[in-house]
Amino acid sequence: MATIGQTMENKPSPAKRAIAWILRIGLAILIPVIAFFFLYQGFLFLRAGNAPKVVIAVVAIVWGVGGVAILYYLFNKLVEALSPDWTARLQPFVFVGPAVAMLIWFLALPALRTFYISLFGRNGPPALPVTMVFTNPSEYFTALAAQYVGFSNYVAVFTDRLMLSALRNNILFWIGIATPLTVIAGLLVAVLADRSKFERVAKSLIFMPMAISFVGAGVIWNFMYEVSPASTQQIGLLNAVVVAFGGQPHGWTNYTAIAPWNNLFLVIIVVWLQTGYAMVLFSAAIKGIPEEIIEASRVDGATEIQVFFRIMIPYILGTIITVTTTIIIFTLKVFDVVWVMTGGQFGTDVIATQFYRQSFINRNSGYGSAIAIVLLVAVIPVMIYNLRQLRQQETFR
Amino acid sequence: MKSASGQKLTRSLLVNGILLVIVLCWLVPVLGIFVSSFRQRFDIQTTPWWNVLPHRGWVMTKTINPREIGLDANGPMTLEGVTATFEEMRAGVEDGDTRLVWIGNRRIGKIEIQKKAWVTSAALTLDNYQQVIQGKNIRITHADGTVQNVRGDDFSGALLNSLTVSIPSTIIPILIAAFAAYGFAWMNFPGRRFWFILVVALLVVPLQIALVPVLRDFAGLDLNGTFLGIWMAHTGFGIPLATYLLFNYISTLPRETLEAAFIDGASHFTIFTKLILPLSVPALASFAIFQFLWVWNDYLVALIILGPDPNVRVVTMKLASIVGDRGQDWHLLTAGAFVSMLIPLVVFFSLQRYFVRGMMAGSIKG
């Protein structure tokens, strides 16, 4: 795809090209930096005064959003004031630069830095000024070597008992059980709703948990699983049902006698939260199946079950794969639900809770970072798949 | 064709029946906390929330002073055709539709005669919401008439914090990403392909990977515990998806429109603000809802960047802290959970169409 607004550039001199690059990179970095200082000063000002909270909130919102917008406007004016040649060279970097700079600062570089930190012990690499590499290299590298542990954090990730149980939970319960359950439930609801007069209401209600925070869902389900002493009335619905059928009330998520199957009670929560997502995508896919195909097969005497398995499933296979992948990525990172419900106790730890505990509670940044890298490696296949899809797309040749 | 229509009817009943059961399963957990949030503290802790529905329960019909009718508490007593000892009556003796309960001690206690009847325990109150929302001390009058002064949980402050975090964390990334999406779609510059590949590659990167380094940078910049810090973090984490979604939309806008504007001498900036942004409202709205719900419901990033300072706590942190400290205070938890869900639910139900569209356009987020 060719872009518009291209100037007829006839081979600029190397010096000109070098200047252009310096200016481009400068622009990309300068805009966020100025935005930052502008906003930061505003915050210092706000913090110093003791205005009511509402005023601070409104000013902060206007200040934050307006500040960024004005900055784009000003920089664009600046670039447009140059000669058309230079405008064409620099303007794209006013548009794209800030986004790329933020990406690099908040995602790309951190990935590399986290990997670097993961090669060191508890406190990470020593906090020495980088300039020491030149002024006093021997001391710098001695300090570095003292903290360096190589890949032993990774060895720990795959041998530590707690971490192994977290990996098992992620693979067996979250990927192995939660994901297929969500996909099946979503598919079931989508198919049923498609044939019902109450489609809109039903879909809206099943979809609703998507708007609820994981912490909120934690409260909701804690209440469902609430256990009262056996002699009194159960106020939690699940225990009330169990007792009505003659069973014993339990705390379910902390019921270690059935460990590791108490994880299932956390899985239920995520299935409840995510089914709506799967349903919406499946529903759209099912509506895309040409009516004639299904009608024709019915005329030929196919039963509903046959129609479902022989026609619908193959037709929406692409969507099933997309939904499954998205939910796998989601369940790999599952954190809030587990943290709020059990804090990772009772054998319910997952990779993300272990990451949080090691990085921010035990303050073992080397080990925590190694866990984060394991998470990253786990999503790399999806990343590669996405990039392949991009290459096949017409729009970006 | 009678059998065919009959078959159709059974099928429709079956479909709607199963659907109804599933919908109820999805709805009942929310209904439970919704109903409970209006019940009094003591009621929530002693009786299940579905007792607000009519059910068979014991209702006191008469109180009898056993000494007046000559009953001796030291031996078996006969009343209403039931014979029981004091100890048995203390625990409650049932006989069909009648129950006898001894209230008080052996010497001066009374016997209550209870009958089974349809009852509802519908003593509803807004006290829980008052206590959860307000920040100052409030007076709560209990069912037994005692008055208690309690400290409010200040969810109103947390709601304000959540708004202060969520609104800029939604608009700033959209603004930055919209500029970038336009740049990628309609401008020519060296490295265009490379940077876009980076955007797509970072779509699925888990944000856990960034937390430790970002926290270190923020510590150096004195940004931990500030709104500015969390805006920047959410902006950084949200930009890949925002850019990708908006690019997909903006790059499919009709080429002729843009070329015509360009030939008329409009600059890129003018085309972007006057033409592209208005045309992209559906895509912008989709992402805005997506990001707003995501930021509002976020717990991990807030926990790490905003930290322990109670002044900047957002609703999810507030709720989680009650779960941790006072997990049995269901009157507060249920009301608090509902307060925290109110704004997302309103946004969700009023703009569901846009939300669904955004989700379908690209649903993999890091």
Cβ-Cβ contacts under 8 Å for B128 (sequence gap 6 or more): B37, B38, B39, B41, B331, B332, B334, B335
Q: Which residues of A touch B237 (CB under 8 A)?
A: 106-107
Mean of the per-residue pLDDT values for chain B? 83
Residue A19 has a pLDDT of 81
- Cβ neighbors of A129 (< 8 A, separation 6 or more) are none
Q: Which residues contact B220 (CB under 8 A, 6 or more apart)?
A: none
Task: Report the chain A residue with the minimal C-alpha distance to residue B231.
Answer: A64
Burial class of residue A208 (count of CB atoms within 10 Å of its CB; 0-12, 13-18, 19+): buried
Per residue in B17-40, pLDDT (tens digit) is 999 999 999 999 999 888 888 888
Domains and CATH numbers, chain A: 14-117 (no CATH), 160-392 (1.10.3720.10)
CA-based nearest distance A149→chain B, Å: 18
The least confident of A3-17, A258-272, B44-58 is: A3-17
Q: What is the mean pLDDT of residues A41-57?
A: 69
Closest by Cα among A180, A213, A153 to A320: A180
pLDDT, tens only, B87-119:
777 777 777 777 778 777 777 777 878 877 777
In this structure, of A338-347, A388-397, B46-55, the range with the lowest mean pLDDT score is: A388-397
> Between A228 and A356, where is the model more confident?
A356
Asked if B63 contacts B110 with a C-beta cutoff of 8 angstroms, the reply is: yes
Q: Between A207 and B87, name the one with better pLDDT.
A: A207
Tokens encoding B364:
């993999």
Q: Is the pLDDT of residue B208 over 90?
A: no
Of A42, A342, A196, A236, nearest in space to B227 by CA = A42
Lowest mean pLDDT among A90-94, A184-188, A201-205, A391-395: A391-395
Model pLDDT, residue B102: 79
More confident residue, A258 or B318: B318
CA B148 to chain centre: 28
- Residue A179 to residues A172, A249, A386, B29, B309: CA-CA distances in angstroms? 10, 28, 20, 21, 36
Average pLDDT rounded to a whole number, residues B119-133:
78
pLDDT at residue A183 in the model:
94
Task: Check CB contact under 8 Å for B44 and A39.
Answer: no
Residue A376 has pLDDT above 70, yes or no: yes
Q: Which of A95, A207, A223 sits opposite B33 (nearest CB)?
A: A223
Q: B144-165, pLDDT tens digit by residue?
A: 667 777 777 788 888 888 988 8
Interstrand relation of B93-95 and B137-141 (parallel, antiparallel or unpaired): unpaired
pLDDT of residue A240: 85
Average pLDDT along chain A: 83
The percentage of chain B sitting over the pLDDT mark of 90, rounded to a whole number, equals 12
Other residues' Cβ atoms within 10 Å of the Cβ of residue A53: 15
At position A333, the amino acid (one-letter code) is K
B21 touches chain A (CB under 8 A): no
- CB-based contact A228:A251 (threshold 8 Å): no
Q: Which tokens go with B155?
A: 């969810």
pLDDT at residue A1 in the model: 41
Interface test with B, best of A103, A280, A361, A384 (most B CBs within 10 A): A103
Do the Cβ atoms of B26 and A96 come within 8 Å? no
pLDDT band at A6; cut points 50, 70, 90 = very low
What is residue B144's predicted lDDT score, i.e. its pLDDT?
A: 67
- Report CB contact under 8 Å: B209, A110: yes
Q: What is the pLDDT of residue A64?
A: 78
With a CB-CB cutoff of 8 Å, which residues 162-201 of chain B face chain A?
A: 163-164, 167-168, 171-172, 175-177, 179-180, 182-189, 192-193, 195-201
Question: Residues B276-303: what's their mean pLDDT?
Answer: 89
Q: Between the ranges B82-86, B133-137, B192-196, where is the mean pLDDT highest?
A: B192-196
Report the percent of chain B where pLDDT is more than 70: 95
A388-397, B26-35, B87-96, B303-312: least confidently modelled range: A388-397
- Tell me: pLDDT of B1 over 50: no
Q: What is the mean pLDDT of residues A223-239?
A: 84
Residue B8 has pLDDT above 90, yes or no: no
Distance CA A272, CA A181 (A): 10
CB contact under 8 A, B323 and A340: yes
The pLDDT value given to residue B114: 80
Task: With CA atoms as reference, report the closest residue to B318 among B150, B137, B128, B152.
Answer: B152
pLDDT-based confidence at residue B362 (cuts at 50, 70, 90): low
Over residues A296-321, the pLDDT tens digits come to 888 888 888 888 888 888 888 888 88
- A396: pLDDT strictly greater than 60: no
For the entire predicted model, the pTM comes to 0.84
HSE-up (13 A, CA, CB side) for residue A83: 5
Pick among A95, A192, A197 to test the B interface (most B CBs inside 10 A): A95
Best interface-test mutation with B: which of A29, A223, A304, A350 has the largest number of B CBs within 10 A? Answer: A223
What is each CA distance from B285 to B199, B241, B278, in whole angstroms? 21, 14, 11
Q: Which residue of B has its CA nearest to A204?
A: B349
pLDDT greater than 80 at residue A28: no
Using a CB-CB cut-off of 8 Å, the residues of chain A touching B334 are 219, 223
DSSP letters, B308-333, are: T-GGG--HHHHHHHHHHH-TT-HHHH
Nearest 5°: the CA angle B94, B96, B97 is: 90
CB A99 within 8 A of CB B238: no
Is residue B140 scored above 90 in pLDDT?
Answer: no
**Interface contact A106-B26, CB threshold 8 A:** no
Instruction: Give the Cα separation of A68 and A63 in Å (integer).
Output: 8
Say how far apart CA B160 and CA B313 lie, in whole Å. Answer: 10
Kindly tell me if the per-residue pLDDT of B183 is higher than 70: yes
Residue A36 has pLDDT above 90, yes or no: no
In contact, A112 and A93? CB cutoff 8 Å: no
Give the mutation candidate from B13, B18, B19 for the A interface (greatest A CB count, under 10 A): B19
Q: What is the mean pLDDT of residues A14-20?
A: 79
What separation in angstroms does the CA of B267 have from each of A81, A97, A327, B177, B307?
A: 12, 18, 43, 19, 45
Element (H, E) at A105: none
C-alpha A249/C-alpha A251 separation (Å) is 7
Rounded average pLDDT over B2-15: 78
- Segment A265-287 shows an average pLDDT of 90
Highest-pLDDT range among B96-105, B174-183, B242-251: B174-183
Output the pLDDT for position A185: 93
The mean per-residue pLDDT over the stretch B285-289 comes to 86
Q: Which residue has the higher pLDDT, A287 or A52?
A: A287
- The helix-helix angle for A179-194 and A317-332 (nearest 10°) equals 140
A373 — pLDDT class (breaks 50, 70, 90): very high
A369 pLDDT band (50/70/90 cuts)? very high
Average pLDDT over residues B250-263: 83
pLDDT tops 70 at residue A385: yes
Taking CB atoms and an 8 Å limit, are B236 and A103 in contact across chains?
yes
Q: Nearest-CA distance from A259 to chain B in Å?
A: 23
Q: A127 or A193: whose pLDDT is higher?
A: A193
pLDDT: is B118 or A363 the higher one? A363
| Residue in chain B lying closest to A47 (CA) | B226
Minimal C-alpha gap between B40 and chain A (Å): 14
Contact call for A208 and B30, based on CB within 8 A: yes
Which chain B residues in 323-342 lie under 8 Å from chain A, judged by CB atoms?
A: 323, 327, 330, 333-334, 336-337, 340-341
Region B329-334: what's the mean pLDDT? 86
Contact A308, A151 (CB under 8 A): no
Using the predicted structure, report yes or no on whether residue A41 has a pLDDT greater than 80: no
Q: By the 8 A CB rule, do A206 and A199 touch?
A: no
- CA-closest candidate to residue A353, choices B297, B123, B329, B300: B300
CA distance, residue B58 to nearest chain A CA (Å): 14
Q: Evaluate if residue B364 carries a pLDDT over 50.
A: no
- B contacts of A376 (beta carbons < 8 Å): 205-206, 209
* Residue B24: predicted pLDDT: 92
β-strands B137-141, B147-151 pairing: antiparallel
Cis preceding linkage at A126, omega within 30: no
Q: By three-state DSSP, how is residue B82 classified?
A: strand
Q: What is the DSSP letter of A49?
A: S
Q: Is A231 helix (H, G, I), strand (E, B) or coil?
A: coil
CA angle A43, A48, A50 (to 5 degrees): 110
Question: How many angstroms away from the CA of B127 is the closest CA of chain A?
Answer: 19
CB contact under 8 A, A3 and B251: no
Query: Which chain B residues are closer than 8 Å to A111 by Cβ?
Result: 205, 209-210
How far is the C-alpha of B357 from the C-alpha of A201, rounded, in Å?
Answer: 18
| Cross-chain residue pair B212–A6, CB shorter than 8 Å | no
